[in-house]
Amino acid sequence: MRLLAPDDAADVVQVAPEDRRQELLELLDEPTRHEVVALLAYAEDDAGGLMNPRFARLRPDMTVDEALSYLRRQARDRLETLYYVYVLDAAQRLLGVVSFRELFAAPSQQLVGDVMRKEVVSVLEDLDQEAVARVIARHDLKAVPVVDAEGRMRGIVTVDDIVDVVNEEATEDIQKLGGMAALETPYWQTGFFPMIRKRAGWLTVLFVGEMLTTSAMARYEDDIARAVVLALFVPLIISSGGNSGSQASTLIVRAMALGEIRVRDALRVLRRELASGLALGSILAVIGLARILLGEALFQSYGEHAMLVGVTVALSLLGVVTWGTLSGSLLPFVLRAARLDPASASAPLVATMVDVFGLVIYFSLAGAILSGTLL
Amino acid sequence: MRLLAPDDAADVVQVAPEDRRQELLELLDEPTRHEVVALLAYAEDDAGGLMNPRFARLRPDMTVDEALSYLRRQARDRLETLYYVYVLDAAQRLLGVVSFRELFAAPSQQLVGDVMRKEVVSVLEDLDQEAVARVIARHDLKAVPVVDAEGRMRGIVTVDDIVDVVNEEATEDIQKLGGMAALETPYWQTGFFPMIRKRAGWLTVLFVGEMLTTSAMARYEDDIARAVVLALFVPLIISSGGNSGSQASTLIVRAMALGEIRVRDALRVLRRELASGLALGSILAVIGLARILLGEALFQSYGEHAMLVGVTVALSLLGVVTWGTLSGSLLPFVLRAARLDPASASAPLVATMVDVFGLVIYFSLAGAILSGTLL
């Protein structure tokens, strides 16, 4: 406990059971305990919760030589890292930054205020950790200073903490996109029953949603009874809608997480995905039609109206894939607008939403095209 | 170009068109050009391709004071970062490491050999970037030294390069898990036709695979003609198998990427997932049975044999969800064993594999349970 940096010690206290926390805090020396208690006030997943309150600080009117020997004393007691050195005024407001390497290489008698860069990228203490990770990545930083609402510097978030954040956030998104709640612990450290709970929740929701397909099918029961051949293509058609929807939602959710797509891009995305859906749907429609005509030519599989059945299936594929692509790309925007996690637009959820509509498209087209012949 | 570190300059040259590369290289000064050309020999995504050949180096017999002024000269010309200082022998073999902060804080007259740590985590120059990221994360390092087969140090990979690697690898995995080829460029930078190609490839493969459901359904065409009620539950049953398979494959693929699960854990994983599948399948079976009995009690939806139909659907759900969970967790191991990317075990691929088998389970159970009544 005593060897840990304050931000890591705070993490240990945070995951300990309520009744052991005081005991852990008492292992720390007085100044460190103060730092750790201050950190515990922050949410675990914002900049304040990630930051290390120990950073290298200087005044602008020191010379480089004075600065180096002053830092040497700071390094002895309380610094964990020495990427950047921050230059603060008397009120702890951030004036500038200089990389330690630049300071170390600068002429001895130059003033710190003349070596430092004055444009400093900083983050507010309540910024979400995912956004902190994006700031660090965008500006290619080794560490970013954390300031409070008054502009006083409170700590630094270093890039090595960000690797964990990036991995954690990606794991959460991947698990959600797979159609389950995020585990939040590694696979083997997750107990059997907690894991079943995380999976059963969404599985049940999807199952109940999918029950609508039974009602939709029931509406067309008479059509199926008259033309059983229609039933054969049901799995093929609905799964194609689900697959194209899965591609679209995955693509958009990830691009949103990386900051490549924002809510205001919704219209541009939908236009592009409409075109994608039509293109992809056309490809599957052609393959589907070819397959049915070939099956009929070789094995007389689909009866005298094979051509009409083929056209019905092909047009349904075009409709279902376009619809799947559109709804898969729209859903993440709807979730984000409702302040929910876009990653909940999982492949299974999109597939479930698309299935019912896919059946309606298919049987409506069948009704229109086959009435008077098969129906 | 002249302001870039050699590893970044090499990246720029690597993405430039073949005929512009020489021109770019000529912008560099002689020693840097040598470094960049050496880096270009490495694959872009292994340790050698990521590393920076400029690192801080010392001899073990220097004093701390000598070391600091020697480093100050190195910092002036050619260092990009100063996390760790590496102690090398005359043959450039790695003897030890000391963090710059520790060196800076050590007594002036101590020898570097006495301050350094002798257990150094290093990686070989041809290690894949994903594995480098795992080494850095596991040991919580700011940088890792890269050595060649003879143990000579060639460069360092720093943690800020790893953030990009982690993000890139997660994006690739997410896109593959969504059932498409990895885009490799951001959403808006990917042209319309290249994107359609990346999506249409897998969509077509899945479509052709899914055509097997049409053949499977055709085998049971007479059963469906006799008991149309059976067709109503087809989408519900196959999608439940697909959803549970999607959960399992996503979970295992991500745990493999994070190094939590290895190939030798396959048996343990399958045992655990078999239990999960049975538990999840039982939950859906109970809900499904309840729904059918309720529908019958309220609306007489399913005819006089509703109880038998309910039992058929419930047992099929149990079988399909167990099968989906098992195949979803097995597929990533099979892909890894075949030296393919486990992330290709996408939700849509697992669903497609499960659909055909789901139909066989369902109609076989129907044949056994309903023969003599509905069939």
**Mean pLDDT, residues B120-136:** 91
pLDDT at A336: 92
Specify whether the CB–CB gap between A113 and A61 falls below 8 A.
yes
Helix, strand, coil fractions of chain B, as percent rounded to 5 = 65, 10, 25
Per the model's pLDDT, the better-predicted residue between B286 and B130 turns out to be B286
pLDDT at A77: 66
Q: Which two tokens stand for residue B293?
A: 């009995």
The helix/strand/coil state of A141 is coil
For residue A217, give the nearest of B218, B232, B280 by CB distance.
Answer: B232
pLDDT at A78: 66
Per the model's pLDDT, the better-predicted residue between B154 and A75 turns out to be B154
Residue B19: is its pLDDT beyond 90? no
Residue B33's pLDDT band (cuts 50, 70, 90): confident
pLDDT digits 0-9 by tens, B172-199: 999 999 889 998 889 999 999 999 999 9
Specify whether the CB–CB gap between A236 and B213 falls below 8 A.
yes
Nearest CA in chain A to B180: A247
pLDDT digits 0-9 by tens, A279-297: 999 999 999 999 999 988 8
Residue B263: is its pLDDT beyond 80? yes
User: Could you tell me which of B204, B242, B215 has the C-alpha nearest to residue B358?
Assistant: B242
For residue A207, give the nearest of B240, B246, B279 by CB distance.
Answer: B240
- pTM to 2 decimals? 0.82
Least confident of A170-184, B35-49, B206-220: B35-49
pLDDT at A18: 80
Shortest distance, CA B235 to any CA of chain A (angstroms): 7
Shortest distance, CA A97 to any CA of chain B (angstroms): 16
In this structure, the number of other CB atoms found within 10 A of the CB of residue A35 comes to 20
Residue B77's pLDDT band (cuts 50, 70, 90): low
Specify whether the CB–CB gap between B360 and B221 falls below 8 A.
no
With contacts defined as CB-CB under 8 Å, which chain A residues touch B229?
A: 221
CA distances for B312 relative to A8, A32, A121, B86, B303, angstroms: 54, 64, 63, 68, 14
Q: Check the CA dihedral A252-A255-A260-A262 and report its sign.
A: positive
For residue B235, give the nearest of A213, A246, A280 by CB distance.
Answer: A213
pLDDT at A80: 67
Q: Which residues pair with A123 in a beta bridge?
A: A146
The helix/strand/coil state of A306 is helix
Whether residues A224 and B229 touch (CB distance < 8 A) is answered with no
With contacts defined as CB-CB under 8 Å, which chain B residues touch A228?
A: 221, 224-225, 228
Q: Which residues of chain A have pLDDT under 50?
A: none
ipTM > 0.85, yes or no:
no
Rounded Cα–Cα distance for residues A45 and B154 (Å): 37
DSSP, res A83: S
Specify whether the CB–CB gap between B173 and A175 falls below 8 A.
no
pLDDT at A331: 94
pLDDT at B78: 66
pLDDT at A6: 81
User: Could you tell me which of B315, B318, B316, B312 has the C-alpha nearest to residue B375?
Assistant: B312
The alpha carbon torsion through A258, A262, A263, A265 (nearest 10 deg) reads -130
With contacts defined as CB-CB under 8 Å, which chain B residues touch A302?
A: none
Q: How many residues does chain B have?
A: 375
Distance of CA B80 to the CA centre of its chain: 30
Specify whether the CB–CB gap between B110 and B63 falls below 8 A.
yes
How high is the mean pLDDT of chain B?
89
pLDDT at A364: 94
**Mean pLDDT, residues B283-305:** 88
